[in-house]
Amino acid sequence: MFLDICKLSIRSLINRRTRTLLTLIGIIIGVAAVVGLISVTSGINDHIMSQMSFLQYDVINIVPGGNTESIESAFLGSSSRVSLLTEKDVRELSKIPGVGVACGSLIGYGMVNYEGQQSMIPLMGYDSRKFSDLMKSSSFSGRLLSAGDKYSVVLPEVIANNVFKNPVKLGKKININGEDFKIVGIIKSSDSLLDIQYGISVFMPSSSMRKLFDIDKNIVHRIQATIKPDASIERVEVDIKETLRRTHKVHRGEEDFSVISSLALKQFINIINGLLSILIGGIAGISLLVGAIGIANTTYTSVTERTKEIGIMKAIGAKSNDIMFMFLLESAIIGLVGGILGCIIGAGLGEGFLQIGLFVRESQMSGFGMLPIDNIMNDIHISLSPKLIIGMIALSILIGIISGVFPARKASKLQPVETLRYE
């Protein structure tokens, strides 16, 4: 009896292939929307998280301001607010047991001239004696800033090769705001978030930068502290906050500074990803609801058209549960097929739209040269987990069954005498 009911269900769907196809489209669209959006979001998130492995986990950034806007100033080099950090803060942080090196930095923009070509470029000033400790994970040609340097600069490869018509060479001189500086090192680019933190600025001794911009000798725009190998980054982060609260004479919650580590950035990215997932779930839920209504409508119509068939089945011994199972099976099959096709189509559309988006972005940025962010945004693909695929197929089957419950119950309660007289 079970096999006979299965054959009847499949035959019914095939005989009404046009209506079945239209019903399938509703489920396919809903499932494809979920799979496409989630796979794209997961792919981007996984790619960023993989790049986070290159970011210096042993460096903590301290920037002015007590809110999340400081993330921009820490990682993108913005210094729009008045600095509240001083060399005294640097000295106090250096005393923390878990801190290896604490180094203040200056941030600004300068007109850089090379072989008659000019460009406004971000500048960063560092204590020459500590610069190599901060950049120890970077590969470079030439050398880094060292003690005794005054009119020397180190360039990232992206600036050396892309800003001016001719690539900048080691040993050459560039003019910054009227002063000549010798290029002693070029830091090589890497396909990681490390380039965002360091790779878009010209590095010079802080003493030279103070002279160029007439910056007070006690002021710093940002402090970077390295963590000793045996120290806990969470413990050091707490100690830094406590130390700065004491030196700035502020209470918890009134901080005029922000302590930002790579772990904080990772948490920030996870929060954004979680919010996107909620938004995607809402959009996809609406699509799946439309598909569920389509299944219910198709099943209900099928019950009405097959009233006489139901009467015949009951007259030859079929039970009410058999009739109900037959219609629920049809709804479940629609959900199963729609789920499988939706996953396939969603994955294809997700990958397609992602690559088109990256291509359009690359075309729009082609005239600006290669920036560090371009490296990070390359080679991104969707991320499809077995859990997502199995979950969506199971959900589509469940939606199909739930949508078919009411029509199936209606069919199972029909009386044989009435159904046989139905025209």
Distance CA(403)–CA(335), nearest Å, equals: 10
**CB atoms closer than 10 angstroms to residue 300:** 18
Please tell me the predicted confidence (pLDDT) of residue 47: 73
Confidence at residue 381, expressed as pLDDT on a 0 to 100 scale: 82
Beta strands in 21-151 (DSSP E): 59-64, 85-86, 99-114, 117-126, 140-142
Indicate the pLDDT class of residue 191, thresholds 50, 70 and 90: very low
Report whether 5 contacts 322 (CB < 8 A). yes
Query: In this structure, what DSSP letter does residue 171 have?
Result: T
With b for 16 or more beta-carbon neighbours within 10 A and e for fewer, the 317-346 pattern comes to ebeeebbbbbbbbbbbbbbbbbbbbbbebb
Question: Lowest-pLDDT range, 190-194, 237-241, 289-293, 363-367?
Answer: 190-194
Question: Percent of the chain at pLDDT above 90?
Answer: 19
- Under DSSP, the state recorded for 81 is S
Using a 10 angstrom Cβ sphere, with 0-12 exposed, 13-18 middle and 19 or more buried, the burial of residue 280 is middle
- pLDDT value at position 126? 92
SS3 of 64, please? strand
| Long-range residue pairs from 356-363, CB within 8 A, at least 24 positions apart, any chain | none
Least confident of 23-27, 176-180, 252-256, 411-415: 411-415
Cα three-residue angle 12-15-18, rounded to 5 degrees = 115
Instruction: Return the pLDDT at 198.
Output: 54
DSSP 188: P
pLDDT tens across 129-158, in order?
Answer: 888 888 876 778 889 898 888 899 999 888
Q: How far apart are CA 276 and CA 110, in angstroms?
A: 38
Describe the crossing of helices 320-364 and 386-412 by its angle, rounded to 10 degrees: 140
153: β partners: 183
Q: What is the pLDDT of residue 27?
A: 85
| Residue-level pLDDT at 366 | 47
In the predicted model, is pLDDT for residue 180 greater than 90? yes
Q: Which of 55, 61, 93 is nearest to 74 (CA)?
A: 61
DSSP annotation string for 230-258? TS-HHHHHHHHHHHHHHHHT--TT--SEE
One-letter-per-residue 3-state SS of 147-166: CCCCCEEEEEHHHHHHCCCC
pLDDT the model gives residue 203: 93
Q: Give pLDDT tens digits for 370-397.
A: 444 445 555 788 888 888 899 889 988 9
Average pLDDT, the chain: 79
pLDDT tens, 33-60?
888 888 888 887 777 766 655 554 578 8
What local confidence, expressed as pLDDT, does residue 327 receive? 78
Cα 266 from Cα 268, distance rounded (Å): 5
CA distances in angstroms from 250 to 91, 96, 245, listed in the order given: 18, 19, 5
Higher pLDDT, 363 or 220: 220
The pTM of this model reads 0.57
pLDDT tens sequence across 278-336: 777 777 677 778 778 877 877 777 776 666 667 777 777 778 787 788 878 888 898 89
Does residue 276 surpass a pLDDT of 80?
no
User: Residues 6 or more apart from 357 whose CB is under 8 A from it?
Assistant: none
Q: What is the pLDDT, as a whole number, of residue 373?
A: 47
CA-to-CA distance for 156 and 151, rounded, in angstroms?
A: 17
Over range 175-201, report the average pLDDT: 74
* Structure confidence at residue 208 (pLDDT): 92
pLDDT one-digit tens code per residue, 98-134: 898 899 999 988 999 998 889 898 999 999 888 888 8
